[in-house]
Amino acid sequence: MGGEAPARAGGRGGVALGFAVAALFASWNPIAAPFGLVVGIVAAALAARTLKQGAPRRRVPAAALAMGILAAVASVTVLLLTAGAVGVELPGEPVVKGRTPAQLNQVLADAAERTRAQRERATRELDRLAVPRRDGGSPPGASHRDGGRGVEGQREDSP
């Protein structure tokens, strides 16, 4: 039974190496880099645990440890570069230029002036039709059909 633990530890080294290789493959792609980071950390932890238990073949877990750490560092680097957190200064003019608050207010004021006649006409037409509003209120300037006296026999909470 004493030889069973080192044999299992040797098998774990191969698993750690497989995880490390998978992490290296995932570490270069910005979409897969988060998976490369997680799998690289798991591979390094598994390899370190295998080395600590005294595996008979130390090369495999040592390689897995080095590759797992490399994959995790590469994944973090790719994520930082992709997010623009590290040394990203794009040359040239921006494709879409942002407006200043003054320019934005001017554009909105111009649009309001262009549509003022249509909005006023729509308001007058709605007032003329005196259609009850969707929120249950009456249109502006519309009087209640009973003059505010209430209808006989009608409960207060009914329409």
| Per-residue pLDDT at 147 | 47
d(CA 8, CA 13): 9
pLDDT at 159: 46
Predicted pLDDT of residue 151: 47
Q: Which of the two residues, 7 and 49, has the higher pLDDT score?
A: 49
42, pLDDT greater than 60: yes
Residues making up the chain, counted from first to last: 159
Question: What does the buried/exposed string (b/e) look like for 64-93 if buried means 16 or more CB atoms within 10 Å of the residue's CB?
Answer: bbebbbbbbebbbebbeeeeeeeeeeeeee
Q: What is the DSSP string of 93-108?
A: --SSPPPPHHHHHHHH
Whether 146 has a pLDDT exceeding 50, the answer reads no
Please give the Cα distance from 154 to 128 (Å, whole number). Answer: 28
Q: Which pTM does this prediction carry?
A: 0.49
Average pLDDT in the chain: 79
